[in-house]
Amino acid sequence: MRLFRTWSEMPPELKGGVLSLGNFDGLHLGHQSVLKTAVDLARARGVPAGVMTFEPHPRLFFKPDQEPFLLSPFRIKARLIAALGLDYLFVQTFDREFSQRSAENFVEDILVGGLGVSQIVVGTDYVFGHQRKGNITLLQMLAAKHGFGVTSVGELSASGGARYSSTNVRNLLKDGRPADAASLLGRFWEIEGRVEHGDQRGRTIGFPTANLPYRDYLHPKKGVYAVRAGIDHGAETVWHDGVANFGNRPTFDKTDTLLEVHLFDFNADLYTRHLRVALIDYIRPEQKFDGIEALKAQITKDSETARTLLAARRFGAAPAPFVAAS
Three-class HEC string of 271-306:
CCCEEEEEEEEEEECCCCCCCHHHHHHHHHHHHHHH
Segment 116-120 shows an average pLDDT of 97
Q: Residue 320: its pLDDT value, please?
A: 85
CA distance 266 to 299: 16
- Nearest CA to 186 among 36, 39, 49? 36
- Count the helix, strand and coil residues of the chain and give each as a percent rounded to the nearest 5: 35, 25, 40
Better pLDDT: 195 or 87: 87
Segment 232-243 shows an average pLDDT of 88
In the chain, which segments carry CATH 3.40.50.620? Answer: 2-153
Instruction: With beta carbons less than 8 A apart as the criterion, state whether 2 and 137 touch.
Output: no
CA distance 91 to 78: 10
Relative to beta strand 210-213, strand 119-123 is unpaired
For residue 94, the tally of other CB atoms under 10 A from its CB is 19
- Whether residue 205 is predicted with pLDDT greater than 70 in this model: the reply is no
- Whether residue 88 is predicted with pLDDT greater than 80 in this model: the reply is yes
Q: Residue 8: its pLDDT value, please?
A: 84
Q: Residue 317: its pLDDT value, please?
A: 78
For residue 147, the tally of other CB atoms under 10 A from its CB is 9
pLDDT digits 0-9 by tens, 167-195: 999 999 999 999 999 999 999 999 998 88
CA torsion 212-214-218-221 (nearest 10°) is 70
- Nearest CA to 17 among 112, 154, 82? 112
pLDDT-derived band of residue 252, with 50, 70 and 90 as boundaries? Answer: low
CA distance 71 to 68: 9
CA distance 9 to 306: 48
In the chain, which segments carry CATH 2.40.30.30? Answer: 166-313
- Whether residue 307 is predicted with pLDDT greater than 90 in this model: the reply is yes
Segment 309-316 shows an average pLDDT of 93
Write down the CATH superfamily of domain 2-153. Answer: HUPs (3.40.50.620)
pLDDT-derived band of residue 97, with 50, 70 and 90 as boundaries? Answer: very high
Percent of the chain with pLDDT over 90: 69
pLDDT-derived band of residue 134, with 50, 70 and 90 as boundaries? Answer: very high
Could you list the active site residues? 260
CA 77-54-114 angle, 5° bins: 120
Segment 246-251 shows an average pLDDT of 73
Fold (topology level) of 166-313:
Elongation Factor Tu (Ef-tu); domain 3 (2.40.30)
Length of the chain: 326
Q: Residue 303: its pLDDT value, please?
A: 96
Work out the end-to-end distance of the chain between its first and last CA atoms, rounded to an integer number of angstroms: 27
- Whether residue 157 is predicted with pLDDT greater than 80 in this model: the reply is no
